[in-house]
Copies of this chain bind each other. A is one copy, B any other.
């Protein structure tokens, strides 16, 4: 089990699907989750990849998540759809809603998709990338679990509350960012704890409310928003968008709901999609996207810059050639889930 193991993307997907099926997920959910995990491995976002399998399995075992709930799509308004995920995981709901949302954006100019009661431990970039690949501009927002103190405060209240944005590009995959409104991902703190490293200043405060660079203190205390009061405002906005706006929970409520402590937050996600061709006089998508490219060129003309998602797309090309490397620790995890590879 110490040799490096390399899998193809098809093997990764097949493996994920087998594990999920073995542990009680129905075919539709297992397939959708496996596709998301595989996309994460493909882009070398390993912390959202196979590494997450135990989270999915634990949430199902605890009774907190459903492995076979069929997401129900409702029509709320001409520009608003809703999917009740009925405690299923988000990926199937997202697949079910994508085409309907895209169609509404095209007919209305802008449309919203509210996803309720979804267990969500995945990234947000897949959904905005999917919409932007259809030529739409997209946002996604979700909240939970309460790990982050509001600016000036000392106690966890906000989730790490990511916001993702996607913009279509004419000759390649879209420009996408997906960023937490906390100064760091929680996983980055956990990794530093594991590796015996300290944290940069500004990431966290300890249980005593004082700034700390000790990962253990940070995990027992509170993470901080990125960028001070401005990041805190964004975290607050995301709480409202993914919660009360769409009739779903706030991060602190999702935390209270997670009785099993699986860390699998169940709650809301808001997705917005806009059609550039419907939002400008004379709507000329090709000209509008070419205009965006002029900005991207100006950015890249400056040494030291890069575009959001560049690293993921570079990884994607690399993985297609070289496959996915499965680390020994992950092999042990997979073995514990009944998958000896």
Q: How far is the CB of A206 from chain B (nearest CB, A)?
A: 15
- A123-163 contact mask (Cβ, 8 Å, vs B): 1 or 0: 00000000000000100000000000111111101000000
B233 and A231 contacting across the interface, CB-CB below 8 Å: no
A299 neighbours in B (Cβ, 8 Å): 150, 153, 157, 236
Query: Residue A76 contacts which of B109, B111, B179, B294 (CB distance < 8 angstroms)?
Result: B109
Q: How far is the CB of A254 from chain B (nearest CB, A)?
A: 12
CA distance A199 to B245 in the complex (A): 39
Q: How far is the CB of A56 from chain B (nearest CB, A)?
A: 26
Query: Residue A295 contacts which of B250, B272, B283, B302 (CB distance < 8 angstroms)?
Result: B250
A167 neighbours in B (Cβ, 8 Å): 237, 240
A107 and B80 contacting across the interface, CB-CB below 8 Å: no
B246 and A279 contacting across the interface, CB-CB below 8 Å: yes
If A245-B288, A276-B244 touch, does A79 touch B110 (CB 8 Å cutoff)?
A: yes
Chain A residues numbered 285-324 whose CB sits less than 8 Å from any CB in chain B: 288-289, 291-292, 294-295, 298-299, 302-306, 308
A111 neighbours in B (Cβ, 8 Å): 79, 109-110
- A103-131 contact mask (Cβ, 8 Å, vs B): 1 or 0: 00001111110101000000000000000
Q: How far is the CB of A304 from chain B (nearest CB, A)?
A: 4
B233 and A165 contacting across the interface, CB-CB below 8 Å: yes
A42 at interface (Cβ–Cβ under 8 A)? no
A272 neighbours in B (Cβ, 8 Å): 110, 272
CA distance A176 to B234 in the complex (A): 11
Q: How far is the CB of A141 from chain B (nearest CB, A)?
A: 11
If A227-B226, A239-B295 touch, does A278 touch B154 (CB 8 Å cutoff)?
A: no
Q: How far is the CB of A43 from chain B (nearest CB, A)?
A: 17
Q: With contacts A77-B107, A77-B275, A137-B241 known, what are 4 further pairs, Cβ within 8 A? A: A80-B110, A84-B281, A151-B305, A244-B291
Residues of A at under 8 Å CB distance from B?
A: 74, 76-80, 82, 84, 107-112, 114, 116, 137, 149-155, 157, 165, 167, 177, 179, 226-228, 230-231, 233-234, 236-237, 239-241, 243-248, 250, 252, 270, 272, 274-276, 278-284, 288-289, 291-292, 294-295, 298-299, 302-306, 308
